[in-house]
Structure 1
Amino acid sequence: MIPVSNPRPMPRNLLVAPLVAAALALLGGMQARAEEAGTLLLRHGGGAPVAAPRLAADAAITVSGPTARATITQAFRNTTSDWVEGTYLFPLPEDAAVDAMRLVVGDRVIVADIREREAARRDYEAARAEGKAAALVEQQRPNLFTNAVANIGPGETVLVQIQYQQGVRRSGDTYSLRLPTVAAPRYNPAPPAVQEAATGRPAPDPVPDRDAITAPVLDPARHAPVNPLTLSIDLKAGFSLGRVESATHAITIDAPSERERRIALRDGATAADRDFELTWTPAPGTSPGLGLFRERVAGADAVLAVVTPPVAAAQAASLPRDVIFVIDNSGSMGGTSIRQAKASLLVGLDRLRPGDRFNVIRFDDTMETVFSDLVAADEPHLAQAKSFVGGLEARGGTEMLAPLKAALRDADPEETGRVRQVVFLTDGAIGDEGRIFSAIAEARGRTRLFMVGIGSAPNGHLMRHAAELGRGTVTLIGSVDQVADRMRELLAKLESPVVTDLAATFSEPAEATPTALPDLYRGEPVTIAARMPEARGTLTLTGRIGGRPWRTVLDLSQAEDGAGIGKVWARARIGEAETARITGRMTPEAADAAILRLALDHGLTTRLTSLVATDATPRRPAGARLARTDLPLNLPAGWDFEAVFGTDQPRAPAPAPILRKAALAPTATGSLALPQTATDSTLRLMLGAGLLGLALLVRGRRVAR
């Protein structure tokens, strides 16, 4: 029997997590190539170089109809003779409801509690100081988290298992699931120097937590990828499946039945350097049932309705459009990303029609418009714009606020005879998302904002929330091969009449989200989550399609059983409160109170709450040094290291290089701790032998039961 500090029901797959970690480590080749010259040495806090713990991860995801439950197991391996604390910056889906964490140290399992953020950090720091095993998961952004693990013993492997719930996305007949695997480096604007000079007081920092969202990044020219990931998905769609595929990774697919698929990475372990995306469609001739689900939680029913309005049989005459294309050509867009962005913009220009008007804005740490105002979409103007786009190169920082405001600025806000649209192409690698959201809410007017996420690891939180605030849609393009199809889908939406004046009415009392429904474009579903004493009565949806009334009534008693819907509802309500705080619809105090209540009631990690696990017994000997370090990250696939960090990086082991000022705004110290190298072949052999022994020991105990 494994001792448990805080006994709770435990998922079966936790018991085999050590085997998962051992298998990942024993794959060996990836980690060995990743440290070609030996152990990765990182400078932390200005002290002596510290050997970074090695990390391997496993993701196991179960899709049940409209929701997905994920278990992420992270294995931290200390290959040194010191006691170590490691901090790892990692991404999750922007709508992930993180609700559980367990820490496995030897034969002990410590179950985490959800607490207010400051209280959780105090508990973690006290346990760290006392030499106890401890782990702390904090949300830095809705899609960006840090995991700190303290007192990892010499030669020891510690496991941290994190669980979350999320909704499955749907567009038309295509369902999708996305798993981010690497936290891309972010540009963090510095406080305005002009304001500081004028007032004599320090200007507010647009990214006050810049240190928390910054981690060491490996140069792929000097290091092969680290942090190997294995992945398995149990897909239970709830209907007969047709096409199941991934545009981002090579996968294997097993089909136990018409309604279920089991997916794994074809190569076993892969580098954590790009988002994983899985899409699936119904079998030909199959029409999935009504998307209406419920879950009984804590004496109430959580309801999820996903309904796609029909395409109008007779579309209204399309209005001419004013389209402003904004393209990010900052350093983070170097490599394949800038090619994807330019190709996407050129497709957009080709789809403009006579009577449309347009302009193009490009930005890095400066901005430039092709024309002084909107111009007709005729051949001379289009040729000039295409020539401008063709000459763009990636360089500099990502100052997004000014070009966004310029694109949203509307010279004729009362115009009703034209449709005004902004198409914004970027990887979203910034740290000041709050300023962007505030600007959209303040200046959107009649404009619709369409976000196009570029590259292998776009900032999903920025993309989706900006599109929601801008009453548009988000399109993600991960490779040049996807440009034509995904831009065609986006442009069809831009050219199609929207479903407007949407409203939802429950016949029985319900707490529903979103409180204000967005405009919809062709193929976009209405998604509503609600909590009510009992799922009964009706939900009535109304709107206008192509100028004609549309109405549908759903019988809530016909809802199918679903899993995790209560978590999805609570996470959506928290997101609404955050938006209300940013846009001024709620005071910060009222928003924080609502977020904290929802987080504590539903056990969720948020900006105000964290998961903390601490052991009861000290492990580190009194007086033994605790080395602290941040784990290194891969550069996202397709990024150009020199375009992001500059060309003046030293090529031999040396102190951490200074960031190029034009590429990324400096941290408080003005530098980024990039890894240095040494030799560790002996430790690698010991690692393999030790983990093999661990695997055999666990297997023996299971057989003995």
Structure 2
Amino acid sequence: MTVFVYLREIEGQTYTGEVKEKEKAKKQYQKAVSTGQTAGLVKASGRKMEKFTVSVNIAANSNVTFILTHEELLQRKLGQYEIMTRVKPKQLVQHFEIVADIYEPQGIAFLEAYGTFISNELLPLVEKTVSDKKAHISFCPTLDQQRKCLGCEGTLIDGDFFIKYDVNRAETIGDIQIVNGYFVHFFAPSDLPRVPKNVVFVIDRSGSMSGIKMKQTKEAMLAILNDLAEDDYFGIVLFDSSISTWKESLTKATKENVSKAQQFIQGITVSGTTNINDAVMKAVDMIMKGKRDKKVPERSVSMVILMTDGMPNSGESSVPQIQENVLLAMGGNMTLFCLGFGDDVDYSFLDVMSRQNKGLARRIYEGSDATVQLQGFYEEVASPLLSEVDLRYPDNLVNSLTTSHYKQLFNGSEIVVAGRLTDYSLDNFLVEDFIIKGQASAQEWDILYPEQEYIFGDYTERLWAYLTIQELLSKRSTGTAEEKGNATAQALEMSLQYSFVTPLTSMVVTKPETDEEPEGHFVPQLMSNAWTHSRISPTNFVDGDPHFMIELPEQEDALCFNIDDRPGTIFNLVRDQLAGILVNGQTIGDKKVAPDGKVNTYFGRFGIVHQGLGVRLEVTTHDITVQVSTLTHSDFAVTKDRSLTVTLRDSVRFVVILHKVWKQHPYHQDYLGFYTLDSHLLSPSVHGLLGQFYHGVQFEVKDMRPGEVPEKPDATMLVKGQELTVTRGWQRDFRWDVKNGENIPCWFIHSNGNGLIDGNHTDYIMSGLFKTV
């Protein structure tokens, strides 16, 4: 998993990158560049989330430090996790450091660290300290140690630095981590017997494969054939514009048969065009015939491995038609792996086709190590342990699961499943009806995981979100038109919510146009020592008479409603029992009733509680009282007597704005506005007049029509299973301009928000400022 949190230091100030929809981020970056400002842009390269491009523009006479942080889900391959850092500075570096700290609750089984560029002289500089659960690795050469020769400017640092390790694995069916209402299940069983496989190698021999490509393919195939187990069955299909086979049916991988197949590989010649469709169809027919004739073991895994460097240009050449043909022919009975050579191959075609058939695609880069790349890929899939792996969890405890059914599990790999718990406080559950096929017999386990192993921060939630987004992006290329549209919308929404740089979003960082922030403006602070959350979250607030505003950036719209009740009424705005957070507000009225007889009410007093920190904060138009406090200066800030920023550690961030009214005004008096700036770490069970909307609300507006006021049309809103008549209007947002405010368009829900809020507004009336009832 790769996610960027992008910071920069400009003239002593730190600015945080913001994830936006891709085109919006691009426009913001280009605008900054066109005016000569310092700016940065991080975007995904291609259709996946593993490669990124960073663009940087530095203003003249500026001194800038860029800090780039990423999170990654390490993929277990061949029995180990690998962290690779490409190090190609192309110059001597004054302060060069590679430092890694690893913590694994299960314990570290083994660890090695090395660099492809590290000579015998540099080897002692690779320092490793490994204990039971922790490891520290460092490589810090001095300027002189980096030099190719004494006094020269060339550097020895040019290559890749690897850290490889694995964790201890108990004899169970996996490890489950539960944190803050989300879980992740790592499944990598050990000591299982391999399952025999039926594999057909489909090799492109068209003219474009001539020279080094075919030479390396032959070298790799000779080694791969040697690695076949004697209980495996295999076939070889060659294709250009025509199709040929080594044998017409699958053959057992005896030593004699493997030797004959290697001789056949040695004699391959290249010519002609590329008929991928018929070649794959032939491979499918060979496997299906082997199954029908019961020539292959009943409990075996079937796969096709396609190796090509080009576009289909012979026979069936329509990419969508080929994909459909292959999907129908395979019918879920086998897996397709595609290996694409070089830069000219239509990789997206191979990628989609392989994923449609429960496999994967891999690009083989041209170079001296292409043979090693081919062999390395085959080693990953050479030893299937299980097929039709189905991980099942209690329906009443778990929802929003990522993919939990896998076609097969290969030796040395790992299945990762994440999900959301219906009970936020749950720290254990039962894995039920755990069924695996493909061994000597199907097995079932009931495993209870009673202990919570700690994963730092909200990693489990972000991992769940990442895996979910990956699956949604996959549906964009393999589903129906409607499924693609829905998947795109959901993936974009989650990418923005969790600040992931994806093919739909980019991260942009620009310097504000002025260093002087307006009154009431909030300057972001670091949310934790490890990394900064950079997100677009809805800003919900209550201000004025009292006007409630629910901003929904993912729908590019807002909802609003008023609450009318007598002065002195205390309402619950935010309540999160799991996070221990409570915000109540008490209304005040005008000094006296105006001539028109209308009684205006506003919020004049707020009570804020954080049980975990032992904080009880009371804010009025005159005073700020902290009754019990462990707040630090970074948790608490007052700006120019007009706004109060309250940061309750990593939980939530509020701003209370004081509206001053002319003291001689005959009716009105000072009042307060309450704004939520960051609430994403609150639990899904958060509620209150504002809190219930912190995790968004879905609505649809239709049938727009003229309203009582020409510039305020009416419409019908579908929300929470109801149809409401709503009116287009606006409310003032005073976050950035305390004096004048900014008009924010919104759909106004009448009658104290009935139909939008849960229940009735009177359900939120509290008996005291710090009470929950």
User: TM-score interval w.r.t. the shorter chain?
Assistant: 0.5 to 0.7
Aligned to 1:521: 410
Per-residue deviation, 1:614? 1.2
* Aligned CA distance change for structure 1 residues 463 and 562 (closer, same or farther; 3 Å): farther
Task: Assess if the C-alpha contact under 8 Å between 2:4 and 2:501 holds in 1.
Answer: yes
Per-residue deviation, 1:523? 4.2
Question: Which one of the candidate residues 372, 375, 383 is aligned to 1:493?
Answer: 383
Which residues in structure 2 correspond to 1:401-440 (within 5 Å)? Answer: 405=280, 409-410=284-285, 413=288, 415-416=291-292, 417=294, 418=296, 420-424=302-306
Instruction: State the Cα deviation string for residues 501-522 of structure 1 (Å, max 9, x = none).
Output: 5232234032111154332234
Deviates more, 1:272-281 or 1:252-261: 272-281
- Structure-1 separation of matches of 2:12 and 2:324: 49
Which residues in structure 2 correspond to 1:682-697 (within 5 Å)? Answer: none
* Aligned CA distance change for structure 1 residues 600 and 375 (closer, same or farther; 3 Å): closer
Amino acid at match of 1:303: F
Structure 2 counterpart SS, 1:164: strand
Which residues in structure 2 correspond to 1:463-612 (within 5 Å)? Answer: 469-472=356-359, 479=369, 486=376, 489-490=379-380, 492-493=382-383, 498-506=386-394, 507-533=396-422, 534=424, 535=426, 536-540=428-432, 541-555=434-448, 557-563=450-456, 564-584=459-479, 587-612=483-508
Task: Assess if the C-alpha contact under 8 Å between 2:403 and 2:417 holds in 1.
Answer: yes
Structure 1 counterpart SS, 2:410: coil
- Structure-2 separation of matches of 1:100 and 1:514: 27
Per-residue deviation, 1:131? 2.4
Structure 2 counterpart SS, 1:170: coil
Structure 1 counterpart SS, 2:72: strand
Amino acid at match of 1:543: I
What TM-score, normalized by structure 2, do the two folds share? 0.49
2:359 is aligned with 1:359: no
- Structure-2 separation of matches of 1:480 and 1:412: 28
Aligned to 2:102: 235
Instruction: State the Cα deviation string for residues 367-386 of structure 1 (Å, max 9, x = none).
Output: 97555855646899866753
- Structure-2 separation of matches of 1:396 and 1:163: 48
Instruction: Give percent identity, aligned residues only.
Output: 16
Which residues in structure 2 correspond to 1:426-465 (within 5 Å)? Answer: 444-445=330-331, 446-450=333-337
Amino acid at match of 2:285: D
- Structure-1 separation of matches of 2:334 and 2:275: 18
Q: Which has the higher strand share?
A: 2
2:221 is aligned with 1:345: yes
Aligned length, in residue pairs: 465
Per-residue deviation, 1:567? 1.8
Per-residue deviation, 1:302? 2.2
- Structure-2 separation of matches of 1:104 and 1:330: 53
- Structure-2 separation of matches of 1:121 and 1:471: 35
Task: Assess if the C-alpha contact under 8 Å between 2:78 and 2:380 holds in 1.
Answer: no
Amino acid at match of 1:234: D
- Structure-2 separation of matches of 1:126 and 1:411: 58
Structure 1 counterpart SS, 2:503: coil
Task: Assess if the C-alpha contact under 8 Å between 2:429 and 2:448 holds in 1.
Answer: yes
Instruction: State the Cα deviation string for residues 419-466 of structure 1 (Å, max 9, x = none).
Output: 542234579999xxx97988875654322234679999x999999987
Amino acid at match of 1:537: F
Per-residue deviation, 1:611? 0.8
Let me know the Cα RMSD of the aligned residues: 5.2
- Structure-1 separation of matches of 2:503 and 2:74: 23
- Structure-2 separation of matches of 1:248 and 1:470: 36
Structure 2 counterpart SS, 1:160: strand
Per-residue deviation, 1:225? 5.6
Structure 2 counterpart SS, 1:132: coil
Amino acid at match of 1:421: M
2:9 is aligned with 1:104: yes
Structure 1 counterpart SS, 2:486: helix
Per-residue deviation, 1:280? 1.0
Question: Which one of the candidate residues 124, 135, 141 is aligned to 2:40?
Answer: 135
Aligned to 1:85: none
Aligned to 1:280: 165
- Structure-2 separation of matches of 1:227 and 1:614: 30
Which runs of 5 or more residues in structure 2 are unaligned? Answer: 147-154, 313-318, 516-773
Aligned to 2:83: 177
Aligned to 1:207: none
- Structure-2 separation of matches of 1:400 and 1:111: 51
Structure 1 counterpart SS, 2:407: coil
- Structure-1 separation of matches of 2:172 and 2:461: 23
Task: Assess if the C-alpha contact under 8 Å between 1:408 and 1:443 holds in 2.
Answer: no
Instruction: State the Cα deviation string for residues 112-160 of structure 1 (Å, max 9, x = none).
Output: 1111112112212222222222211121332222222234426x66443
Task: Assess if the C-alpha contact under 8 Å between 2:36 and 2:60 holds in 1.
Answer: no
- Structure-2 separation of matches of 1:481 and 1:589: 40
Task: Assess if the C-alpha contact under 8 Å between 2:208 and 2:310 holds in 1.
Answer: no
Aligned to 1:253: 127
Deviates more, 1:350-359 or 1:464-473: 464-473
Task: Assess if the C-alpha contact under 8 Å between 1:135 and 1:147 holds in 2.
Answer: yes
Question: Which one of the candidate residues 286, 307, 312 is aligned to 2:187?
Answer: 307
Structure 2 counterpart SS, 1:582: helix
Structure 2 counterpart SS, 1:123: helix
Task: Assess if the C-alpha contact under 8 Å between 2:174 and 2:188 holds in 1.
Answer: no
Task: Assess if the C-alpha contact under 8 Å between 1:249 and 1:265 holds in 2.
Answer: no
Structure 2 counterpart SS, 1:561: coil
Per-residue deviation, 1:565? 2.2
Which runs of 5 or more residues in structure 1 are unaligned? Answer: 1-94, 183-223, 620-705
Per-residue deviation, 1:179? 4.8
Task: Assess if the C-alpha contact under 8 Å between 2:43 and 2:507 holds in 1.
Answer: yes
Question: Which one of the candidate residues 98, 112, 121 is aligned to 1:244?
Answer: 112
2:181 is aligned with 1:294: no
Q: Which has the higher helix share?
A: 1
Instruction: State the Cα deviation string for residues 369-428 of structure 1 (Å, max 9, x = none).
Output: 55585564689986675356447799999x896588457653674745345422345799
Question: Which one of the candidate residues 150, 154, 179 is aligned to 2:57?
Answer: 150
Per-residue deviation, 1:582? 1.2
- Structure-2 separation of matches of 1:580 and 1:153: 45
* Aligned CA distance change for structure 1 residues 515 and 352 (closer, same or farther; 3 Å): closer
* Aligned CA distance change for structure 1 residues 594 and 386 (closer, same or farther; 3 Å): same
- Structure-1 separation of matches of 2:272 and 2:156: 27
Per-residue deviation, 1:329? 9.2
Structure 1 counterpart SS, 2:397: coil
* Aligned CA distance change for structure 1 residues 339 and 550 (closer, same or farther; 3 Å): farther
* Aligned CA distance change for structure 1 residues 272 and 306 (closer, same or farther; 3 Å): farther
Which structure would you say has the larger RCO, counting Cα contacts within 8 Å and 6 or more residues apart?
Answer: 1
Structure 2 counterpart SS, 1:347: helix
Task: Assess if the C-alpha contact under 8 Å between 1:172 and 1:308 holds in 2.
Answer: no
* Aligned CA distance change for structure 1 residues 352 and 174 (closer, same or farther; 3 Å): closer
What TM-score, normalized by structure 1, do the two folds share? 0.53
- Structure-2 separation of matches of 1:403 and 1:153: 59
2:113 is aligned with 1:113: no
Task: Assess if the C-alpha contact under 8 Å between 2:202 and 2:280 holds in 1.
Answer: no
